Amino acid sequence: MKIQKSNWLCQTDLKNRVRFFLGENGPEPLICIGVNPSTAGLDELDPTMRAVKRHSLQKNYSGWIMLNLYPQRATDPNRIHKRINRELHRQNLLQIGHILEQYPHAPVWAAWGNLIEKRSFLIPCLRDILHQTDILSNEWICMGDLTKAGHPRHPLYLPKSASVNSFYPTQYIRGQLPS
């Protein structure tokens, strides 16, 4: 169910168990990719969404749009499906494609942190996003240093002064997938 409230964007399923995107529209938004959505919605941002909004505004973007590797809502990452729901993943790829059609030049902020290791299907989800959408043509960034495990930092664990750095998703994915 697509909801638009003033300059807000939100796409969920009818039961609100899935969220494909959430954000504040602007002519030059920052697209952020996390692991999975939590409880945030149009009426109330959760701590992660407040951090995404804060960092986006501090870096002078006109808006922000949160996407996720997997669209299932789960406040605890340990509650993410143990096995991928392929239909949800397919729908997520379509929604990501729609956002990229609207914002073909928006920079993409890799922001999944070490949570990408919670489920074995999350890195393949990223690979599918990279290869089945036009997202590789966008500029990619991360904020702050990579984690000790080599992942781009999650927005909650960034200082307000975090620097913007180039991120190379193709090189990253090569280092994360088994040979």
Q: Which residues pair with 157 in a beta bridge?
A: none
DSSP string for residues in 144-168: SPPPTTSPPPPGGG--TTPPEEE--
| Mean pLDDT rounded to a whole number for the chain | 92
- The DSSP letter of residue 144 is S
The CATH number that applies at residue 28 is: 3.40.50
Give the chain's domain count.
1
Pairing of strands 140-143, 29-34: unpaired
- The DSSP letter of residue 79 is G
* Per-residue model confidence as pLDDT tens digits over 20-73: 999 999 999 999 999 999 989 887 899 999 999 999 999 999 999 999 999 999
Distance (Å, rounded) from C-alpha 152 to C-alpha 149? 9
* Per-residue model confidence as pLDDT tens digits over 109-127: 999 999 999 999 999 999 9
Distance (Å, rounded) from C-alpha 150 to C-alpha 67? 21
Contact (CB, 8 A) for 19 and 97:
no
The answer on pLDDT for 179 being more than 50 is no
The whole domain housing 75 covers 2-176
